[in-house]
């Protein structure tokens, strides 16, 4: 198999079984959608109204994940799931039963999960409900038993995304302070913690920009460590006469001071173009929550929610994304 020509080095273990489809012949865009999209239909489990904005990771030579499965009362629920190939998913029809000592802050609904392996366990971050949206945290080793810890931030906050390792001796998380509704603003922030319990040393990362990212932005998948910086794929929202439109692009953050932005795409990678991104419970949403990467070949598979209804994947090469980002860079 031909390796990407880019000299960018990516940290992390090889993932030769990454879900993959070659770039279609004649396709000129930086990114291409899987021809079998959507990979998860809205009714993949009996209780679900929609399955989208979900997170997957490599697990024991295969794949596991945490899925946002809104149910038919339209409650936002988190479910675990497993897959042999990262494309065909077996989602547990029972909602995750998070173990936690404190009734007051116990999970009772959740959405937009992210999952990351740090040190010796998988950490789940999601939008938890405690007097409004805030960032819930839990860990698991087997995707069967999940152990909650304290909510990371005060409400209102969404899009909590952990870095995959400590930086300067501390855990680091991106987030997007918000309001209690369909927030018409939003910048990306970064916070530090010595123990996954207390969060502080808050830093502003970046704010809105023009066009597709003019209303609000929020971190997407877990940042990817490369020799050029942390590759952060993030969503951006514009407000049209037809409501919010969710697209996604990419930025590069400094390796040692990840609140410093090195480059940022003025163009989007994906904006809702296809039927399944444009039509659904919330039209015109492409919302990325996870990415799988195979460092030796630089292949990347991005998982994203489509129109708040189903789940899709799209593909590219990390080096190509970074090269493209530098061409349409708006970080001066």
Binding residues for ligand BMA (CB under 6 A): 53, 111-112, 182, 246, 282, 285, 287, 305, 308
Minimum Å gap between C-beta 74 and ligand BMA is 12
For residues 45 and 98, what is the distance between their CA atoms, to the nearest angstrom? Answer: 20
**E strand residue ranges, 149-264:** 157-162, 171-177, 188-193, 200-206, 216-219, 224-226, 229-240, 243-253, 261-264
The residue nearest ligand BMA at its CB is 282
Minimum Å gap between C-beta 247 and ligand BMA is 12
* 190 strand-pairing partners: 174, 203
Contacts of 279 (CB under 8 A, 6+ apart): 307
Minimum Å gap between C-beta 198 and ligand BMA is 27
Minimum Å gap between C-beta 282 and ligand BMA is 4
Contacts of 257 (CB under 8 A, 6+ apart): none
Nearer to ligand BMA by Cβ, of 18 and 269: the residue is: 269
Nearer to ligand BMA by Cβ, of 294 and 308: the residue is: 308
Nearer to ligand BMA by Cβ, of 112 and 225: the residue is: 112
Contacts of 300 (CB under 8 A, 6+ apart): 224, 291, 292, 293, 294, 315, 316, 317, 318, 321
For residues 161 and 99, what is the distance between their CA atoms, to the nearest angstrom? Answer: 21
Nearer to ligand BMA by Cβ, of 298 and 309: the residue is: 309
Nearer to ligand BMA by Cβ, of 10 and 237: the residue is: 237
Using CA atoms, how far residue 286 sits from 142, 270, 317, in Å, is: 29, 7, 19
Minimum Å gap between C-beta 41 and ligand BMA is 17
Nearer to ligand BMA by Cβ, of 121 and 182: the residue is: 182
Minimum Å gap between C-beta 15 and ligand BMA is 26
Nearer to ligand BMA by Cβ, of 38 and 305: the residue is: 305
Nearer to ligand BMA by Cβ, of 81 and 305: the residue is: 305
Minimum Å gap between C-beta 107 and ligand BMA is 16
Using CA atoms, how far residue 225 sits from 167, 222, 229, in Å, is: 11, 10, 6
Phi and psi angles of residue 212, each rounded to the nearest 5 degrees, phi first: -60, -15
For residues 66 and 93, what is the distance between their CA atoms, to the nearest angstrom? Answer: 12
181 DSSP assignment: S
Q: Cα dihedral sign for 72, 74, 75, 81?
A: positive
Minimum Å gap between C-beta 178 and ligand BMA is 8
């Amino acid at each position: 198999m031909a390796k990407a020509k880019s000299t960018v080095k990516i940290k992390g273990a090889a993932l030769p079984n990454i879900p993959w489809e070659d770039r279609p012949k004649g396709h000129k865009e930086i990114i291409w959608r899987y021809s079998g999209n959507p990979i998860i239909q809205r009714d993949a489990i009996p209780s679900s109204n929609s399955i989208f904005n979900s997170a997957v990771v490599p697990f024991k030579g295969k794949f596991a994940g945490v899925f946002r499965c809104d149910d038919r009362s339209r409650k936002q629920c988190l479910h675990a799931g497993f897959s042999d190939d990262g494309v065909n998913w077996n989602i547990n029809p029972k909602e995750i039963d998070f173990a936690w000592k404190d009734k007051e802050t116990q999970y009772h609904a959740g959405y937009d999960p992210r999952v990351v392996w740090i040190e010796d366990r998988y950490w789940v971050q999601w939008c938890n409900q405690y007097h409004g949206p805030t960032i819930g945290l839990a860990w698991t080793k087997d995707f069967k038993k999940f152990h909650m810890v304290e909510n990371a931030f005060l409400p209102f906050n969404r899009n909590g995304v952990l870095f995959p390792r400590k930086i300067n001796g501390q855990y680091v998380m991106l987030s997007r302070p918000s309001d209690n509704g369909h927030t018409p603003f939003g910048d990306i922030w970064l916070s530090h913690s010595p123990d996954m319990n207390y969060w502080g040393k808050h830093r502003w990362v970046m704010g809105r920009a023009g066009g597709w990212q003019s209303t609000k932005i929020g971190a997407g998948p877990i940042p990817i460590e490369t020799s050029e910086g942390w590759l952060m794929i993030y969503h951006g929202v514009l407000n049209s006469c037809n409501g919010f439109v969710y697209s996604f692009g990419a930025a590069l953050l400094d390796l040692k001071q990840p609140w410093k932005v090195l480059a940022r795409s003025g163009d989007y990678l994906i904006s809702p173009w296809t039927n399944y991104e444009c039509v659904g419970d919330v039209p015109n949403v492409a919302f990325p929550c996870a990415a799988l990467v195979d460092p030796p070949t630089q292949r990347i598979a991005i998982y994203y929610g489509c129109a708040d209804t189903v789940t899709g994947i799209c593909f590219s090469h990390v080096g190509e994304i970074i090269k493209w980002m530098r061409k349409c860079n708006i970080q001066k």
